[in-house]
Amino acid sequence: MELQMLKSSWQNAQNSAKSKTELNEMMAIGNHPTLKRIRLKLVIETIWLIAFLAFYYDAFDGQNKPLWLRLLLISSSLFYLGTNSWGYFKLRHFAGVTSIRQSLIQFMTRLKRLFLLSMISSIVFGSSLVFYFIWNNDLTVKKQALLFGITATAILLHFVSFTNWRFQIRHIKLTLGTIEAEDK
């Protein structure tokens, strides 16, 4: 009885054929939700860093800091933004090879490289930012507590980022292992 109902539902179901254009849009890598989140994060970070760089000189006594420290802050900011932008565009314009296995190997290698660069750039930027704010600054107990809080937050955010990258790489490795197991 239930089988007959299922068959009749199947036959009465409307054919939801998709056009080739709709299928191509669904498969486009730019529509992937993870890439959309990465793009949103990149846009927000870019806006904040540009605003920070535009106002740091006046708002945070840039005139009292040495030139090399200001250049370090600017270059580390640009390094951070450049690394994140490069990573996004490398992931967005991923050209796979012929087999799924080879594509996953290539993708995992690219993810590992992006992971390393992302962690290095965020550590360099965070360190230069903290260094900029403590240079020639009398560290009172209140400022030391604030500095400790900022440093602890930065370490926590680096740990979360590190864990997220490791999860993504591990997921690719598991998928690759599944494919290799099926090939045997």
pLDDT of residue 176: 81
pTM score of the predicted model? 0.74
Range 153-182 burial, b when 16+ CB lie within 10 A, else e = ebeeeeeeeeeebeeebeebeeebeeeeee
Tens-digit pLDDT profile for residues 88-120 = 888 777 766 677 778 888 888 888 999 999 999
For the chain, give every domain's residue range: 21-183
With tokens 């930065």, the residue in question is: 154
Tens-digit pLDDT profile for residues 30-65 = 566 777 888 888 899 899 999 988 888 888 888 888
Residue 37 CA, distance from chain mean position: 8
